[in-house]
Amino acid sequence: MHTTGLKGVIRKEKMLPNFRARFCTRILKIEPYRAWLIKNTPCVSYVGLRADEEGRAGGAYADIGGVEMRFPLREWGWTEKHVWEYLFEKQVAIPRRTDCARCYHQRIGEWWTLWRDFPELWADAEADEAELGATYRTPGRDTWATSLKDLRAEFEGGRVPRTVKETAAGLRDIGACRVCTL
């Protein structure tokens, strides 16, 4: 039995994370970072939110004495365009996905890519759903099956999300991820 990471948290909470219960973010990211900050004060916490992300708060840790919150990209006035130009200039490759492989926020093309490229992760996520009687996918979010078991059957039957396209090399690829707009 898993006792750490997402699997451990799922077992402890006895449920899958979803749009109504985002416990995974709180337990696996926010609380450990808060604990680290408390142990390592004084310090400066740099948050990578851009100038064009005005609506995002990004780390509410100012209540911890000795922690200074800084937002350098905002301070520099950098937008998404500036960030991509800088990364291109420095030849930094960004992976298509930067969050959890079984995140309930994934789009159908991302689920398709997980099914195709990482069958062991897919099978593990499908087993979670069977064990807990719930799904990672939000019911009614789109016209696709909600459970991973039923979604797998659609993929195995040849149904491919419209966001998946053929590349010049003949390989399938998904369009831009939900985070990136390029």
pLDDT digits (tens, 9 = 90+) for 38-59: 999 999 999 999 999 988 887 7
User: pLDDT value at position 169?
Assistant: 40
**Phi, psi dihedral angles at 166 (to 5 degrees):** -85, 130
Is residue 64 within 8 Å of 37, Cβ to Cβ?
Answer: yes
Do the Cβ atoms of 144 and 162 come closer than 8 Å? Answer: no
Please report how the helices 108-117 and 119-132 are oriented relative to each other, as an axis angle in degrees rounded to 10. Answer: 120
Q: How far apart are the C-alpha atoms of 46 and 58, rounded to whole Å?
A: 10
At 22-39, the pLDDT tens digits run 899 889 988 999 999 999
DSSP helix/strand/coil, 88: helix
Strand partners, 45: 69
